[in-house]
Amino acid sequence: MGSLTYHLVAFLVVAIWGSTFVFTKLLLQEGLSPAQIFTLRFLVSYVLLTGYDLLLTHRGSHSFRLSADSVKDELLLVTLGIAGGSVYFLAENTALLYTTATNTSLIVCSCPLFTMLLVALAYRHTERFSRTQMAGSLMACAGMAVVVLNGHFVLHLSPLGDLLAFAACLLWAVYSLVMKDLSQRYGSLFITRKVFIYGLLTMVPYYIACPEEVTLLPTQLSQLHAPHAVFLNLLYLTVVASMLCYLLWGWVIKRLGAVETTNWVYVNPLSTMLFAWWLLDEQITLWLLLGAVLILSGMYLCDRRP
């Protein structure tokens, strides 16, 4: 299977993740909180994924495993659950309460630059990045900024919100780096299942501090204005955007590496705006088209080998 296939899968995953902003916004309008949405997504995904894993075990495809080969690897899986799950989503969503969506998108979607830096530091003897690849990453980052700003070059600084967004950015870079290591020794199915369960377990301290988020959930679900639409929305976020996409993301990182895969995150704002145009009738501007050209050109340069 050629590298083009892996890049297409990475693009598809990021395109789906870009759409989740629109679908999550619809759930927020129904009264669900960011933490509740995350928990429902990961809980349902974990149950489905565990059932699928057990089915494969029953058919003799592989053996169901509960833990990693070492304590160190198990702790790395906990790190994935935090960096790609609980704390990541809490930092990103809470940032929106204190700063603008533009600031949050700009900061979070710049994580490929930090991923490249972390990989260069961690694998400085084996990983080499050419000037062309670095220029491509910067070009894609500029294109992402053009798409997010959309011609309105005014940023409103908010130290707390921007710091939370930057924390989410670093967390996803750490997630990609740790995934690069673990994906060489474990399958995507096992890793993704552990990410979901540790993401849920590390949310427990948050719910201890905010117990009303749990106690009010049954009442909130019973008072939904459009229960069928919410159910389909959650089904998409859990089965497609969480379970399937996390599996594919780990699979692609194993084959393309953390840097090449994470560079596709630059496409995220472009995907969000396309879905917003499709579902929310938001206008596509010249800035969007210019940003798309910069992003795609930068992605092409990023794929050039040293």
Q: What is the pLDDT of residue 200?
A: 95
The pLDDT of residue 208 is 92
Q: How far apart (Å, rounded) are the C-alpha atoms in residues 125 and 110?
A: 25
Question: Smallest Cα–Cα separation from 166: which of 119, 99, 120?
Answer: 99
User: Tens place of pLDDT for every residue, the chain, 306 residues?
Assistant: 567 888 889 888 888 887 776 777 778 778 888 888 889 889 999 999 999 899 988 887 778 888 999 999 999 999 999 999 999 988 877 776 676 555 566 666 677 777 777 777 766 656 566 777 677 777 777 776 676 565 555 555 567 777 787 788 889 889 988 988 898 899 888 999 999 999 999 999 999 998 988 888 888 777 777 788 888 888 899 999 889 999 998 888 888 887 778 777 777 766 766 766 776 666 667 776 777 677 667 766 766 655
* Residues 207/213, Cβ–Cβ less than 8 Å: yes
Whole-number pLDDT of residue 59: 84
Q: What is the pLDDT of residue 96?
A: 67
Q: What is the pLDDT of residue 87?
A: 92
Looking at residue 152, its pLDDT comes to 58
Domain regions of the chain by residue span: 3-128+156-257
Given the structure tokens 């059932």, which residue do they identify? Answer: 51
